[in-house]
Amino acid sequence: MKENDFVGKPVVSMSDGAKIGKVRDMVFKGLDLTSLVVNGERGEGLLPIGLIGTNGPDAITIESYTVVDWNAGRLQDPDSRNTHDLRKLSVVDADGNMLGKMHELTMNAKGRVEDITVRTEGVFGIGAHETLVAASRVRAIGSDMITVEKAPKH
């Protein structure tokens, strides 16, 4: 699963028969997806990933609008980061090479990050280079950067 499997989708309450909002962002703690940021009439709330009924092709279903914490603010945990904040972080390997910035995440069905796509800057995308980093190589996600182990030799 990737970010576009969640972001932009409507969230539908099955018991209320109502669209309660759209997913605006995802929140991670380390390499685990913890919640979705839902933007709706009640404002912005956090939907814990474990309370999602189904992530279908057209909508995300939940049991009731009450499972969304409309009072949580942007992030519950100081160690949590949304995808917007993660994209600002540079990725550095153990040899001190700047690999670029986090561009995209690939997750398994449980919301655990499996790969990070790192992209170097190009001019309007021309000359950009992407590197796929396995989550097993991630050493730390800090306030300034993501550090990763060296790529295995082939």
Ranges of each domain in the chain: 3-82, 87-148
CATH superfamily of the domain spanning 87-148: PRC-barrel domain (2.30.30.240)
Residue 70: the pLDDT is 87
CATH topology of 3-82 equal to that of 87-148? no
Provide the pLDDT for residue 154: 64
Find residue 14's DSSP bridge partners.
Answer: none
Check residue 128 and give its pLDDT: 79
Q: What are the structure tokens assigned to 1, written together?
A: 């699963």
- The whole-model pTM stands at 0.85
The closest alpha carbon to 106, from 130, 79, 74, belongs to 130
Tell me the CATH number for domain 3-82. Answer: 3.90.50.10
- Answer whether residue 153 shows pLDDT above 80: no
Using pLDDT thresholds of 50, 70 and 90, give the confidence band for residue 73: low
Q: Using one digit for the tens of pLDDT, what is the confidence trace for 19-61?
A: 999 999 999 999 999 999 999 988 899 999 999 999 999 999 9
The predicted-structure confidence for 84-127, as pLDDT tens digits, reads as follows 899 999 999 999 999 999 999 999 988 999 999 999 876 666 77
Position 74 scores a pLDDT of 53
- Residues 131 and 118: beta-carbon distance below 8 Å: yes
